[in-house]
Amino acid sequence: MRQPSDAKLSPALARVPAWALVLGVALVVRLAYLLSAHGPAFDAPLIDADYYDYLGERLARGEGFDAGPFWQPPLYPVVLGGLYRLGGHSLWWPRLLQAVLGAFTAMLAQGVARRVSGSRAVGVIAGLLVALHGSLVFYDGELLATSLGTFLGTTALWLAVRESRSMGTALLCGVCIGLGALAVAPLLLLVVPLAWALARGRRVHAVLCASVCAAVVSCATLSNHSRSGEWLLISANGGINLWLGNNADVDGAMALRPGAAWEALVNEPVRQGFHTPATQDAYFTRKALAWCGSRPLDCVGNLLWKARLLLLARELPRNEDLYVVRSQSPVLWALTARPGGFALPYALLWPLAAAGCVRVWREWRAREDARAALTVMGAAVVLAAPSILFFVTGRYRAPLAPVLCVLAALGLHALLSRASSRAVPAGVALAVLVVSVWPVSLAVDAVDFEAELHYAVGGRLARLGDDAGAVEAWRHAVLRRPGYLEAGFNLGLALERLGQPEEAARSYESLLRWYPREPLLHSQLARLRGSARDVGP
């Protein structure tokens, strides 16, 4: 889908290689974010990030993974373990690596856009959109598999749309898809459009790509079997995530938070007699499929509703809310500005990407050789699919972002061109803009994520043996949300460990006003009062 003309750049910029310009901007932005960021969520990895950090430390000490099959895809903990083993346990090592990976992701997106459009300017625009993508900058600083998976997925796409294809290209593409799936499991879906792209001319390239991808993924499958005697493709968390996004109350399920309600859900298979990770994973999968089978119209409506959520400009939170933590850095604050419903960057990306899709469709109809552009659209579809099939949240749609930036650059070029056929792309872009910024009320909006942030920080500090720091964090959580059972109860336990039983008792008593029949609170108070009588005069 090459264009004979190109947008003019200034003479100074024209002399700079496009890839170098994009790489430099992306790296500077990410380093500026890391150097300026400070706050509880940045200083202490939370929930999944804390678990990854824990596994990385175990692997660095040579202790291996926890017993049983992988709960989450294993590649990212392996990378963390290698970094910690080489440089010691410092959060800077993975963050610096991810800043570099994020910069290369922007550079690769520039290459994909240039290949699809034949335009240097379109390539630079796509690369800069990735470089300045606030959500990607944020996830490049988090101890999550998001940055690694996004880089590997974009690398695979870049390899698949290259003009020069060889057996080596197909092999590397398959490796990247397989490794990407071992970081973020849904990236496995990329094998469909990318193998199709590689099949041009020689179908053996597609077979090689898919075979190598399967071989890489089978390493996790065989490891799961050897460690547990059960067959799990990659990890055991897919079933519960499928159920969270496919049930009679998806809105409420998406708002479930760490605590008693979450533990009750996780332990539901045990109460039904399923005690191994594979059978528990299968239990939730069957439950989700059974609900869809028994209520097909509701299931379809649910999928359409999630597709609408996918198009929202604002980020939907999972473990933490981007709009709570964005104040930790002026860089992040600027790149994720949210005046009303117009939230950057997706309020721009979705409409422009829609216009880009119109352009691709038109040129595919007019040209015989548009395989690269169709590959980008196919990649966008399969990367959007997990959010619709499971549930929508910021970090799960992040791997889609570089592809959206490529389509957005194509859309911007189409809207700025002098062609007489701009009306349709402009109309589609306007309609998508309205959908993306139109307000939607969700159950997760009622969650106090700042209180949850302090609760999660306390959990990490307690795991590291810093009870004094945990007490401070949990006090912040309870101050924001006085009836926060999990935070208040853990606060009481930490105070007990610090030898402050009277303070602990006051924490339990304050919770009784909210939960007068909670047996754990009564038992803790009875034990403390009994101990006080034992040591009394």
Q: Look at residue 3 in the predicted model and tell me its pLDDT.
A: 47
- Beta carbons of 231 and 225 less than 8 angstroms apart: yes
Q: How far apart are CA 488 and CA 2, in angstroms?
A: 61
pLDDT higher at 371 or 524: 524
Mean pLDDT of 113-129: 95
Q: Look at residue 10 in the predicted model and tell me its pLDDT.
A: 60
Q: Look at residue 164 in the predicted model and tell me its pLDDT.
A: 75
Q: Look at residue 166 in the predicted model and tell me its pLDDT.
A: 87
- CA-nearest of 410, 413, 426 to 116 is 410
Q: What is the mean pLDDT of the chain?
A: 92
**CATH 1.25.40.10 in the chain, residues?**
448-534
- Indicate the burial class of 164 (C-beta count within 10 angstroms; 0-12, 13-18, 19 or more): exposed
Q: Look at residue 532 in the predicted model and tell me its pLDDT.
A: 53
Q: How far apart are CA 321 and CA 326, in angstroms?
A: 9
Instruction: Tell me the percentage of the chain whose pLDDT exceeds 70.
Output: 95
Whether the pTM exceeds 0.85: the reply is yes
Q: Look at residue 423 in the predicted model and tell me its pLDDT.
A: 83
The neighbour count for residue 37, using CB atoms within 10 Å, is 20
The 10s digit of each residue's pLDDT in 402-421 is 999 999 999 999 999 876 57
Instruction: Tell me the percentage of the chain whose pLDDT exceeds 90.
Output: 85
Q: Look at residue 420 in the predicted model and tell me its pLDDT.
A: 56
Q: Look at residue 529 in the predicted model and tell me its pLDDT.
A: 83
Q: Give 226-268 as a 3 state SS string.
A: HHHCCCCCCCCCHHHHHHHCCCCCHHHHHCCCCCHHHHHHHCH
**531 confidence band (pLDDT: 50, 70, 90):** low
- Beta carbons of 435 and 307 less than 8 angstroms apart: no
Q: Look at residue 462 in the predicted model and tell me its pLDDT.
A: 95
Q: Look at residue 8 in the predicted model and tell me its pLDDT.
A: 52
Class of domain 448-534: mainly alpha
pLDDT higher at 318 or 171: 171
Instruction: Examine the pLDDT at 427 and tell me if it is beyond 60.
Output: yes
- Beta carbons of 485 and 514 less than 8 angstroms apart: yes
Q: Look at residue 537 in the predicted model and tell me its pLDDT.
A: 46
Mean pLDDT of 124-148: 97
Instruction: Examine the pLDDT at 156 and tell me if it is beyond 60.
Output: yes
Q: How far apart are CA 522 and CA 529, in angstroms?
A: 10
The 10s digit of each residue's pLDDT in 457-514 is 999 999 999 999 999 999 999 999 999 999 999 999 999 999 999 999 999 999 999 9
Q: How far apart are CA 120 and CA 9, in angstroms?
A: 9
The 10s digit of each residue's pLDDT in 198-225 is 987 688 999 999 999 999 999 999 999 9
The 10s digit of each residue's pLDDT in 11-40 is 666 678 999 999 999 999 999 999 999 999
Q: Look at residue 111 in the predicted model and tell me its pLDDT.
A: 97
Instruction: Examine the pLDDT at 287 and tell me if it is beyond 60.
Output: yes
The neighbour count for residue 498, using CB atoms within 10 Å, is 14
Mean pLDDT of 176-189: 97
- Beta carbons of 182 and 176 less than 8 angstroms apart: no
Instruction: Examine the pLDDT at 98 and tell me if it is beyond 60.
Output: yes
Q: Look at residue 12 in the predicted model and tell me its pLDDT.
A: 62
**318 confidence band (pLDDT: 50, 70, 90):** confident
∠ CA(474), CA(478), CA(484), 5° rounding?
A: 105
**193 confidence band (pLDDT: 50, 70, 90):** very high
Q: Look at residue 2 in the predicted model and tell me its pLDDT.
A: 46
Q: What is the DSSP string of 416-444?
A: HS--TT-HHHHHHHHHHHHHHHS----GG
DSSP state of 199: T
**1 confidence band (pLDDT: 50, 70, 90):** very low
The neighbour count for residue 257, using CB atoms within 10 Å, is 18
